[in-house]
Amino acid sequence: MAIHLSSSVTELPGIGGKAYQALKTLGVSSVRDLLWYVPFRYDDFSTIRGAGEVVAGETCTVRANLQSISTRPAKSRRMNIVEAVVEDETGELAVTWFNQSYLEKTLRPGAKLSLAGRISDRYGLSMVNPIIEKGSTSTHTGRIVPVYGLTGSITMRRLRDAIRAALPAAEEMVDWMPAEILEKESMLGLTEALKGVHFPESREELDRAIVRLKFDELFLHQMMFARVRSDRTLAKAHPIPLDEDLLKTFVSGLPFELTGAQRKAVWEIVQDLDKPHPMNRLLEGDVGAGKSVVAAAAIKSVNAAGYNAVYLAPTEILAAQQHAALSVFLDEPVGLLTRTMSKVGDQDVDKSLFEYSSSNVETPQIIVGTHALLQDRISIPNVGLIVVDEQHRFGVEQRHALLDTGDGPAPHLLSMTATPIPRSLALSIYGDLDLSVLDQMPPGRLPVATALVPQPQQEGMWGHVRGLIEQGQQTFVVCPLIDPSDKLGAKSVSEVAKELSGGALKGLKIETLHGRLKPDEKEKTIEKFRAGKIDVLVSTTVIEVGVDIPGATVMVIVGAERFGLAQLHQLRGRVGRSDIQSYCYLLPDSLSENSEARLQAMVESTNGFELAEKDLLLRGPGNVFGNAQSGFPDFTLATPADVDIMKKARDRAAELLEVDSDLEKHPLVKERVEKSFDKVHLE
């Protein structure tokens, strides 16, 4: 029976009712879906060795005849050891499996086997726990072998066999990428790329297949950006008159001087606000660079023109914190609305106050909430500006949805991020946004002194921390986990808090904070810490973004090698927010060469943009052998390290739109872009 893209996966070998239900949980029900279920890594078994030619330490495939096989119990453990010998014209090789006694019954001497695995010389040359394939087939051995995410009862072997059987249907795939772009970039066709990403015949074919599929994702992303930019120029917005006197009064009333970068960003934003179509600008700044006051200047301009402003934070903790900060900057009542809190200024109010009509003049013109505010469908009329804090949690599709206001004017949009990104990368990731960069720090702040502290030096470090606390300073201690986990071998919040309470920091006020607490519990803990009623806050990365405690001068990161550079830099940014010298101590559990290089980069630089560049260099172009892909939230294969492919995708998209702006000559591209938007809106 012929297999087609539209065929059910149940028509493939080995996919029965249970396997079908398991695949459905992954969004896979048709052959087309299955072909797009790409591997997350690969095992390279393509080196073929004779039984007598193997080398200790290498991973290879040996094709030989089974000479003998037997099972014996292990001496020291409760397990069975299966021992076999295989031979070919080059010699013999010992093979060992653990707790797989069924193999003695299923493998007969004389059988031709293909065995793939690592060669050990611990007890003489042998292959330990290899993958077995009978006969001369090469789906699981003798090649670069795909490794897929599994679910339910489905096994890797059954899934690989099913995908191998589905590959002929890839010939039906319609390649939507314009032929002239494929030719210019010397790229594989879509059918060849899909075959190559599942069962490549060589490393070169795999690399070319992955590049093609990454290019597709990034090119489509750029086309969606172009759609957003085009829609934005057609959308209407309320022009906010540029009032220089208002801005001068606002700036002169601040208790500090703005940096040159802040002044430039404010000027770029108020010029955008003065246009009749919606602003869509990204304000990117290192931790502590002063994004909040720039946003406050924009809000002030919008309010003065008679329009409401909405400020969206990613968490309730940060919403409450920004509510307090904006109340100070703007010197007028600011509303706070989250799922558990609602207030105007310092006064708690009824939530229904916010579900108002435009005639309700008593409602505040500035409302701070969480990103969920948009999903909650709270009706806030006459919105002139939406500020989205930590916008990496708020994608291009959500930004585009803000333009969809029917016939009414769309709000201006200011997105903000404290994650420093090299400009070229930012333009590729956030191609629908204009970019303002805060690359200067406010004067008077001392760089955070950062040290990598191995185990033997940690006792002295805790002594230094205790001394600082006794002087009235406060400390963050960040852990990778909430509860103990033997599997991960990482220290948890509960363990570290208990150790410190009974040891190095005994007698001090120590409390914990993590994502499992209720929002009001988190807020109470943060407020106690801010008020100085807690000496040491042992936390998960729930405090990573934006939590501002001026009295905290020490950041201790336990299991520091488990965090990425950007995350470490964000955590370090929670201290050093006053004119007192602050410290960041990195406590590793264990160090590989790569993790030591990352932590050393933290010690050597406090510049987030430098660290972002270093992060790209350390990660390289993305190595899929043995490493799970960590793509963007909406990408399957592309990663932030694929800068070269991003640039090519951006350039080719721009070239295409220059000659065919409405894509009438490229209907397949147009259809693909529209489907992407439809999918987002349906979800």
Beta strands in 528-601 (DSSP E): 536-539, 552-558, 583-587
Asked whether the beta carbons of 509 and 463 are under 8 A apart, the reply is no
What is the structure's pLDDT at 173? 94
> Quick one: 396 and 476 in the same domain?
no
- What are the two backbone dihedrals, phi and then psi, of residue 363, each rounded to the nearest 5 degrees? -75, 140
Return d(Cα 148, Cα 310) in angstroms, integer: 43
Counted domains in the chain: 4
Distance of CA 288 to the CA centre of its chain: 22
Last residue of a domain, one of 404, 438, 472: 438
**601 HSE (CA, 13 A, CB side):** 24
Nearest alpha carbon to residue 677 among 223, 277, 214: 223
- Buried b / exposed e across 252-278, counting CB within 10 Å, b at 16+? eeeeeebbebbbbbbebbbebbbeebb
CA distance 114 to 49: 11
Residue 567 in any domain: the answer is: yes
127 and 8, same domain (yes or no): no
Same domain, 365 and 479: no
* ∠ Cα 397 401 407 (to 5°): 150
Q: Which CATH number covers residue 367?
A: 3.40.50.300
Task: Name the amino acid, one letter, at 70.
Answer: S
β-pair partners for 61: 48, 116
Put residue 406 in one of left, alpha, beta given phi > 0 → left and psi -120 to 50 → alpha.
left
Handedness of CA 29, 35, 41, 46 (dihedral sign): positive
Q: Cα–Cα distance between 512 and 505 in angstroms, integer?
A: 14
Strands 536-539 and 347-348: unpaired
Contacts of 417 (CB under 8 A, 6+ apart): 282, 283, 284, 285, 390, 391, 392
Q: Closest Cα to residue 458, out of 501, 489, 503?
A: 503
User: Among the three residues 415, 438, 461, which one is the final residue of a domain in this structure?
Assistant: 438
Domain that holds residue 415: 240-438
User: Is the Cβ–Cβ distance between 127 and 115 less than 8 Å?
Assistant: yes
Same domain, 375 and 260: yes
95 and 158 together in one domain: no
- For residue 35, what are the contacts with CB-CB under 8 A and spacing of at least 6? 5, 163, 166, 167, 169, 170, 173, 194, 198
Q: Look at residues 438, 462, 494 and tell me which one is the last residue of a structural domain.
A: 438
Residue 674: inside a domain = no
Residue with tokens 């510049």: 607
d(CA 79, CA 81): 7
Clarify whether residues 459 and 567 are in a common domain.
yes
The whole-angstrom separation of Cα 271 and Cα 279 is 9
pLDDT at 239: 95
Same domain, 464 and 571: yes
Q: Given this model, what pLDDT does residue 320 score?
A: 84
3-class SS of residue 63: strand
What is the 3-state secondary structure of 154-174? CCHHHHHHHHHHHHHHHHHCC
In a domain, 658, yes or no: no
| CATH number for 93 | 2.40.50.140
> Are 279 and 159 within one domain?
no
Contact between 563 and 538 under an 8 Å Cβ cutoff? The reply is no
Residue 134 lies in a domain: yes
pLDDT under 50: residue ranges of the chain: 356-361, 486-487, 620-633, 680-683
Query: What is the CATH number for 18?
Result: 1.10.150
- The Cα 590–Cα 599 span in angstroms is 12
- Determine the pLDDT at residue 434: 84
| Gap between the Cα atoms of 411 and 236, Å rounded | 9
What integer pLDDT is reported at residue 28 of this predicted model? 94
611 lies in some domain: no
DSSP at 143:
S
pLDDT of residue 592: 83
- Is 666 a member of any domain? no
Q: Please give the pLDDT value at position 351.
A: 62
- pLDDT for res 485: 54
| Torsions phi, psi for 165 (to 5 deg) | -70, -25
Is residue 657 assigned to a domain?
A: no
**pLDDT value of position 229:** 77
Residues 34, 112 within the same domain: no
Are residues 27 and 79 part of one domain? no
Same domain, 266 and 298: yes
CA distance 341 to 355: 15
Q: Token pair 């990103």 is at which residue?
A: 371
Same domain, 398 and 254: yes
The reply to whether 680 falls in a domain is: no
Could you tell me which residues come within 8 angstroms of residue 439 by beta carbon, excluding any fewer than 6 positions away?
261, 285, 286, 289, 609
* 83 neighbors 72 (Cβ within 8 angstroms): yes
